[in-house]
Structure 1
Amino acid sequence: MTDARVPILMYHAVADAPNEATRALSVTPKAFAEQMAVLADQGRTPLTTAGLAACWRSGRPLPGRPVLVTFDDGYEGVHRHALPVLAEHGFPATLFVSTGWLRGPYDTGGGPDTMLDWDQVRELAAAGVEIGGHSHSHPQLDQVSEATLRFELIHCKEIVSDQLGSVPASFAYPYGYSDRRVRQAVRETGYAQALAVGNGLARRAQGPYALRRVTVRRDTGIEEFERMVEGRAITRTFARDRALTKGYAVVRRARRAARTLAGSGG
């Protein structure tokens, strides 16, 4: 199964009443519970990001019907609402934290909603949730300077290591944006694998630093969720998103090139 296509689900907030900044990319606790029940009913075998990458890196076979449950940013509802559901099913997961958004000594005040504190992150880790990096302040990494890029990656890694006593092995790109420079920096910082978005199933051929995920939103119905996990109708479901992403990628490259030219005085 080394050439298998694996659904990597991307969640953000799990909340009944999220604020407007996080609403579209949130799910209700009820919806999350129903979606995890679907995975259990399908006989899915959840893995952590590190677990999937280790199988593909070594060539070891994947378990039957693998799936990944991942959360970005570090919203408090992951602890309050998602953790009990994960524990009920015995599901591992991966949480990618933006360290400057979490409540505590490194809080920059940039968190868009109620965020986790470090005690809650430690409880999640103790319960089998892999904690990965998601930068420090959640910038578009392909748009920042080299110095800022390195700071965002290294500072995030150092904070997670200090707070948890273990070095994070996995990374997720804020907003899903990366380019060759960003991926190389992630590798050099010591992360062993990284997740993008792409809204498609993950495959070994994508490489360990560009694995795709599918976005679970507040308007994702249970039938659509089942189709996404099975890899059916993903192209149609996310066709508009992909078109916008490709178009915006061209704009971002042009902006970065213009800033580089201006900085060089050319």
Structure 2
Amino acid sequence: MNGPVPILMYHSVARTPNDATRALSVAPEAFAEQMALLDDRGFTPVDTVRLAAAWRSGAPLPARPVLITFDDGYEGVHRHALPALAKYGFASTLFVSTGWIRGAYDTGGGLDTMLDWDQVRELAGEQVEIGGHSHTHPQLDQIADDALRSELRSCREIIAGELGSLPVSFAYPYGYSSARVRRSVRAAGFAQSLAVGNGLARRRQGPYALQRVTVRRTTGIEEFERLVEGRSIARTFARDRALTKGYAMVRRARQVRRKAIRSRV
């Protein structure tokens, strides 16, 4: 029950993704093959609510639990992923950036064709938990407190208005958070939140920093099997970690520079 759990992070599922989403897009045929492997290997997909609740209460999880999650809200989740999920009766979680969903609140920031709210509602009726992913998808640890609260509040209220229930799970845009961001996510009413990390989720990470592994267009079926089995993850994402550390240094330098500028104003 307390063992590590693979949480898979998907973005777009598309045959012809654009340049902005290509690297993190998965072909529909590849996605279907990955779902078939999960079924064949006896994995039981659960949503984010169920995992977090089990780890809080000590309630048992099913054998070989796995989470299937999607970020942003691309239209291919409805067009291509949903039929594969429905074939096996798999649960999943979709984290939507509400300002990117087509409709009244659209900020025009979506990177490719996005879902509309009718499609989100249909997904919610098919074992897909709908969680929050901010309103406009900023790097939350890089924005001021007022903007952070607005991003979280708008996201949660819009989802509630469209679906009739408040979302309780959240995923950090770009995977970035900080103690301040995690406190704000909790204060906004979200009960758990997912990062990236490219490692297996473990209870000790706490409900607001659960790690996920990235599934990309280049993830072949053998690599996918290693990921869900928890094998060779560190080696698979070694280059990613090096790049992330480098970018983190750049981001910290930017933060220091912005604070210095503000202090002089």
Tell me, in whole angstroms, the C-alpha distance in 2 between the residues paired with 1:227 and 1:214: 11
Aligned to 1:33: 32
In structure 2, the partner of 1:245 is 244
Please, what TM-score do these two structures have when normalized by structure 2? 0.98
For residue 162 of structure 2, what is the aligned residue in structure 1?
163
The equivalent residue for 1:105 is 104
Q: Which moved more, 1:248-257 or 1:36-45?
A: 248-257
Cα distance in 2 between the residues matched to 1:57 and 1:265: 46
Name the SS of the counterpart of 1:94 in structure 2. Answer: strand
Provide Cα deviations, 1:215-256, integer angstroms capped at 9, x if missing partner: 000000000000000010100000011111122223222322
Which residue number corresponds to residue 179 of structure 1? 178
SS of equivalent residue, structure 1 residue 136: coil
- Runs of 4+ more than 2 Å apart: none
Aligned twin of 2:220: 221
Distance 1:132 1:114 in 2: 19
| Equivalent residue, structure 1, for 2:14 | 15
User: Which residue matches 1:145?
Assistant: 144
RMSD of equivalent CA atoms: 0.9
Q: Which residue of 1 aligns with 2:209?
A: 210
1:190 alignment counterpart: 189
Write out per-residue CA displacement over residues 114-159 of structure 1, whole angstroms, 9 at most, x where no aligned residue.
0000000000001110000000000111111111111111100000
CA distance in 2: counterparts of 1:133 and 1:108, whole angstroms = 16
Residue ranges of structure 2 left out of the alignment (5+ in a row): none
Name the SS of the counterpart of 2:217 in structure 1: coil
Secondary structure of residue in 1 paired with 2:12: coil
Aligned partner of residue 95 in structure 1, secondary structure:
strand
Shift of 1:265: 2.3
Task: Report the alpha carbon displacement of residue 264 of structure 1 after superposing the two structures with TM.
Answer: 2.4
For residues 250 and 211 of structure 1, the distance between their equivalents in structure 2, rounded to whole angstroms, comes to 22
AA in 2 matched with 1:242: R
Q: Which amino acid aligns with 1:94?
A: T
Q: Give the total of aligned pairs.
A: 265
The whole-number CA distance in structure 1 between the counterparts of 2:238 and 2:219 is 15
Runs of 5+ consecutive residues of structure 1 not aligned to the other structure: none
1:138 partner amino acid = H
- The aligned amino acid for 1:137 is T
CA distance in 1, matches of 2:85, 2:155: 25
Of the structure 1 ranges 177-186 and 256-265, higher mean CA displacement relative to structure 2 is found in 256-265
One-letter code of the match for 1:235?
Answer: A
Partner of 1:120: 119
Cα distance in 1, alignment partners of residues 121 and 129 from structure 2: 10
Task: Among all aligned residue pairs of Structure 1 and Structure 2, give the percentage whose two residues are the same amino acid.
Answer: 73
